[in-house]
Chains A and B, each alone.
Chain A
Amino acid sequence: MSIWEFANPRKFTALSLKILPTLVGLSAVLVLGGLIWGFAFTPNADKFESTVKIIYVHVPSALMAINGWLMMLVCSLIWLVRRHHVSALAARAAAPVGVVMTVIALFTGAVWGQPMWGTWWVWDPRLTSFLILFLFYLGYMALWAAIEDTETAADLTSILCLVGSVFALLSRYAVNFWNQGLHQGTSIPVATGGRTVADVYFLPLVVAMAGFFVLFVALVLARTVTLIRERRLAVLDAQEARA
């Protein structure tokens, strides 16, 4: 069986509805578990005191904000190459979830930054990049909303997503060049295998990240199913109007 079979809207909907309750439950357990573990059962750090604990919301949401855009990019490519409607709708569904994650990351960052750096906002490269990512999300969603015909909208937003990804990446490096930052380095360096976060904080963080990931998947699936049904209603309406 090929994975592309799930590009059939009916199969996709059936499978999604079957696994959605599990996903929602799992994400609730993981997010709550990670947060409670993190907030209540880890020590305060010397330098950061209790403020460090916002990391359990901040890092996972930031991760999902970027993943949301990556998912849009992959789905857009699949739509452009293989013309699977579900893929186009999934890209559309990921955008609002991604934008909310971006806002959460920016907000928690500001709340954390206030006691740490003494300011709600600085034009640090990481913060600035997220703000720019937020603007890209807005443009993408606005274009989806402005075009009535779904296929046209899917094509045009996919191309915008490809072009936007290139410019988002360029902006990322341009911003680095433009201002050296205050923000600490990444919390989870993948390549080196080393960690900048101590073990006591790291484990609940991983749990919270897994929770946010499952939550992201669940939200995107639910939204995609809604969009599929919306699309189906539109087709039925069109058929009825012609009959």
Chain B
Amino acid sequence: MLGASDLVVGRGGVALLEGLSLAVGTGDLLAVRGPNGAGKTTLLRTLAGLQPALSGSVDVAPDTLAYASHADGIKPSLTVRENLIFWADVFAAPDGIAPAVAAFDLEPLLERLAGRLSAGQKRRLGLARLMVTGRPLWLMDEPTVSLDSSAVAALAALLQAHLAGGGAAIIATHLDLGIEGQVLDVTPHRAQGRTAPRGFDEAFA
């Protein structure tokens, strides 16, 4: 579904991670681990095509992935239904919002303003938002931030359902979600400054 080989990612012209190779297929979960500031977010954004790789390439069809940063992109002044319908329309999802509402048990909350939801309910809405995009591959940056342990367990269960339904996910996280899957520890890939990034003149360094 998504593959990358010998990838170098960085920001501001400075390489952060290098020598990354990864492959994610249907039903796979890839957990990206590593200390803060190592470049997990940069890697995810590069995979999502939001920023260019410094070298190497990401091989992914453009309409397979949806990227969620750690903010959940929910408008508090819209109802749950309006939030979901918006994303379904933007992504021209063929099935509308019904499957996502059923999967995440949002039916009783549909007319509630998103700002009035509890943290766990918001997280469910945030995931449902990814589901209504109809994109099979989810890239999630620190989805467990500010969740308590029961919410994390719920998140893990939802993710497992997504994977079982033919989806895939790449997740940057500190926590072990308890789901079978690949783990990519970025620590050994941290750039040593050897790789000269594209367009960056060696004379600066």
Contact = CB atoms under 8 A, between A and B. Distances in A.
Interface string A203-243: 00000000000000000000000001001100110110011
Contacts of B201: 7-10, 85
- Main secondary structure, interface of B, reads loop
Contacts of A13: 203
A8 B205 contact: no
Interface residues of A, number: 21
Q: Which of A7, A231, A238, A242 has the most CB of B within 10 A?
A: A242
Interface stretch (A29-37, A130-138, A148-156): A148-156
Nearest to A151: B13
A152 B51 CA distance: 12
B205 A235 contact: yes
A85 B200 contact: yes
Interface string B182-205: 000000001111000001110111
Interface in A1-52: 7-11, 13
Interface in B5-54: 11-14
Interface in B160-196: 190-193
B17 to A, nearest CB: 11
B203 A9 contact: yes
Contact of B12 (A85, A149, A242, A243): A149
Contacts of B12: 149-152
Contacts of B14: 235, 238
Query: 9 tightest CB-CB pairs across the interface, nearest first?
Result: A10-B203, A9-B203, A149-B12, A83-B199, A239-B193, A235-B205, A232-B204, A235-B204, A151-B13
Interface of A: 7-11, 13, 83, 85, 149-152, 228, 231-232, 235-236, 238-239, 242-243
